[in-house]
A = this chain, B = another copy of it.
């Protein structure tokens, strides 16, 4: 029996934009594994109640159910030891957890302040009210107010990316000459934006732009050819 991956979808079933689900999509591709995609909306809590919690991604692999992208990555690494490693050893797992936290705790809040209103617009109608209410409660202001100073947050994001930019001077990926899970943790943030917003987060002369381009092309263009929102600028 094949794997099933519950993923957050927008208006269309193939409009997949969750940063954490993209981490898992890339991890599965890295390992040469496939999972049937099961589109899920924010308001369909019942559909994943079997997982014991209310968030996606949820991976079902035979009798195993695993939620949370980080735990899914650990699960895949242990369960499929004969496929390419996502980490390259225990010491690297620990440091990849830091990179994942950097993506989630530093980059995600900055990108949210650029794209949050756009996410609302790409959601299925049934999800829009839930999204607006829950996010406005979390941020303490309207979606429109969250993204009001978009240019300042874009500048803050580009500044926050300086450590990634620095290490990319000398190599193709954060993880070294080849990509690994730490790259996918950060790349997921960019797929979140690409698939939900026309905002271009990066300038074309940024090493991070070229790193993102390489990951868009990875695994036969898995990410590049996924449905996305056309960019305001010249992004392909």
A98 in contact with B101 (CB, 8 Å) = no
Tell me if A160 is interfacial: C-beta within 8 Å of chain B. yes
Contact with B along A1-41 (1 / 0, CB 8 A): 00000000000000000000000000000000000000000
Which residues of A78-112 have CB atoms within 8 Å of chain B's CB atoms? Answer: 85, 87-92, 94-99, 101-102, 104-106
Whole-angstrom CA separation of A87 from B98 in the bound complex:
15
Tell me if A140 is interfacial: C-beta within 8 Å of chain B. no
Tell me if A59 is interfacial: C-beta within 8 Å of chain B. no
Tell me if A166 is interfacial: C-beta within 8 Å of chain B. yes
A167 in contact with B88 (CB, 8 Å) = no
- Chain A binding surface SS class: helix
Q: Which B residues touch A182, using CB under 8 A?
A: 95, 98
Tell me if A56 is interfacial: C-beta within 8 Å of chain B. no
Contact with B along A130-169 (1 / 0, CB 8 A): 0000000000000000000000000000001011101100
Q: Which B residues touch A105, using CB under 8 A?
A: 162-163, 166
- A contacts, CB < 8 Å to B: 85, 87-92, 94-99, 101-102, 104-106, 160, 162-164, 166-167, 171, 174-176, 180, 182
Beyond the given pairs A89-B89, A92-B94, A101-B164, 6 more chain A to chain B contacts, judged by CB atoms under 8 angstroms and listed by A's residue number, are: A85-B91, A91-B91, A94-B167, A102-B163, A106-B160, A106-B163
Q: List 19 A–B pairs whose Cβ atoms lie within 8 Å, in order of A's numbering.
A: A89-B89, A90-B176, A91-B92, A91-B180, A92-B92, A94-B171, A94-B175, A95-B98, A95-B175, A98-B99, A98-B174, A101-B162, A101-B163, A102-B102, A104-B163, A105-B162, A105-B166, A106-B160, A106-B163
